[in-house]
């Protein structure tokens, strides 16, 4: 489950990301800072045997979207506007799960700081909601789904034991450890009712098997949150201290170019044919 605002944010990010993917335009673009060359992707080699740097325009382009969303989320957190912060965190978390390409850019420090900042902001939102007595499903029916998605994000990023995931598990265990079979059944009914409201056929077809699998797991497998420790929920951890984390992130961003090193903009849909030509597979051989 996800709020409508969270869904809309994730969908907007998805559409923007797809407009930044060179593969969708039959193009190869290297945007990285390093000068070394590597063997190009299998897809490129199948077209032309060339030795090129790994194409990382798309990782940087998606990282730009993550950065902008983190800044938006941070602005809501500093104002303690939790009602607006919550769907932004939802949408960003879903987007990261769908488009993890940004973790492959050649600025490893930026990737690590981005993940660290995401975690600190996620925990800031959760703890802010708790302080306002809104960290519950009565206030946010999709809360369990968000907590689960945060943990899944950590696992996707190979950070199973990340501090922010530990906090999410702890919160989930406190809130949901006493669920009964009737609770699981009611939640499944709510998921199915929510699924019926999805008007986009493609989205509905993708979500249907997920909802069905969740029904099969109810009462069979141990709930994911039972691995959590409720004592982790309020534990003070330096990596989750937002002020210094945000300062470190902003400091690093000061040395990162705001736009692409190749081409007029991140959104390739705005490029002219002349802009695209040097990077299209059909025209690369004669220039290299």
pLDDT in tens, 166-176: 999 999 999 98
CB 229 within 8 A of CB 167: no
Task: Give 14-21's long-range contacts (Cβ < 8 A, gap of 24+).
Answer: 14/95, 14/98, 14/99, 16/65, 16/267, 17/61, 17/62, 17/65, 17/95, 17/99, 19/267, 19/268, 19/269, 20/57, 20/58, 20/61, 20/62, 20/65, 20/266, 20/267, 20/268, 21/58, 21/61, 21/268
Q: What is the pLDDT of residue 288?
A: 42
pLDDT in tens, 77-128: 999 999 999 999 999 999 998 888 888 888 899 999 999 999 999 999 999 9
Q: What is the pLDDT of residue 64?
A: 94
pLDDT in tens, 148-162: 999 999 998 877 779
CA–CA distance, 1 with 211 (Å, rounded to integer)? 9
How many residues does this entry show for the chain? 288
Q: What is the pLDDT of residue 287?
A: 47
Percent of the chain with pLDDT over 70: 84
Both tokens assigned to 55: 């194409």
Both tokens assigned to 59: 């990782």
CA–CA distance, 121 with 54 (Å, rounded to integer)? 31
Both tokens assigned to 145: 């789904």
Q: Check whether 244 has a pLDDT greater than 90.
A: yes
pLDDT band of 28, cuts 50, 70, 90: confident
Q: Check whether 257 has a pLDDT greater than 50.
A: yes
Q: Check whether 281 has a pLDDT greater than 70.
A: yes
Q: Is residue 50 part of a domain?
A: yes
Q: Is residue 49 part of a domain?
A: yes
The range of the structural domain enclosing residue 28 comes to: 4-177+223-287
| Mean pLDDT confidence for 47-69 | 70
Q: Is residue 158 part of a domain?
A: yes
Q: Is residue 185 part of a domain?
A: no
Q: Is residue 133 part of a domain?
A: yes
> How many CB atoms sit inside 10 A of residue 29's CB?
22
Strand pairing category for 38-39 and 51-52: antiparallel
Q: Is residue 31 part of a domain?
A: yes
Q: What is the pLDDT of residue 168?
A: 94
Residues 6+ apart with CB under 8 A from 57: 20, 22, 29, 30, 31, 260, 262, 263
| Mean pLDDT confidence for 52-65 | 77
Q: Is residue 189 part of a domain?
A: no
Query: Residue 220, class by beta-carbon neighbours within 10 Å (0-12 exposed, 13-18 middle, 19+ buried)?
Result: exposed
Q: Is residue 278 part of a domain?
A: yes
From the list 10, 6, 9, the residue with the least C-alpha distance to 142 is 6
Distances (CA, A) of 8 to 3, 27, 218: 9, 29, 28
Q: What is the pTM of this model?
A: 0.81
Number of independent structural domains in the chain = 1
Distances (CA, A) of 105 to 2, 19, 30, 69, 109: 29, 18, 10, 18, 10
Q: Check whether 219 has a pLDDT greater than 60.
A: no
Q: Check whether 270 has a pLDDT greater than 50.
A: yes
């Amino acid at each position: 489950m996800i709020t409508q605002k969270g869904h809309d944010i994730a969908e907007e990010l998805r559409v923007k990301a797809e407009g930044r993917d060179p593969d969708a335009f039959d193009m190869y673009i290297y945007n990285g800072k390093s000068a070394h060359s590597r063997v190009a992707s299998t897809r490129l080699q199948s077209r032309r045997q060339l030795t090129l740097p790994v194409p990382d325009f798309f990782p940087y382009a998606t990282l730009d979207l993550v950065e902008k969303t983190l800044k938006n989320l941070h602005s809501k957190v500093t104002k303690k506007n939790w009602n607006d912060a919550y769907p932004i965190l939802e949408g960003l978390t879903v987007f990261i799960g769908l488009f993890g390409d940004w973790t492959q850019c050649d600025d490893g420090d930026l990737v690590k700081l981005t993940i660290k900042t995401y975690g600190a902001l996620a925990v800031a939102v959760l703890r802010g909601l708790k302080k306002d007595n809104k960290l519950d499903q009565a206030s946010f029916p999709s809360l369990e789904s968000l907590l689960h998605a945060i943990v899944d994000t950590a696992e996707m990023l190979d950070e199973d034991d990340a501090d922010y995931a530990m906090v999410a598990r702890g919160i989930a265990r406190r809130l949901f450890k006493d669920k009964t079979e009737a609770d699981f059944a009611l939640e499944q009914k709510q998921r199915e009712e929510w699924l019926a409201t999805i008007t986009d056929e493609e989205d509905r077809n993708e979500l249907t098997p997920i909802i069905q699998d969740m029904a099969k797991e109810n009462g069979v497998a141990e709930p994911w949150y039972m691995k959590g420790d409720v004592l982790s929920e309020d534990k003070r951890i330096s990596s989750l201290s937002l002020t210094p984390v945000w300062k470190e992130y902003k400091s690093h961003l000061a040395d990162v170019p705001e736009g692409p090193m190749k081409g007029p903009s991140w959104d390739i849909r705005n490029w002219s044919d002349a802009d695209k030509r040097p990077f299209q597979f059909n025209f690369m051989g004669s220039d290299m």
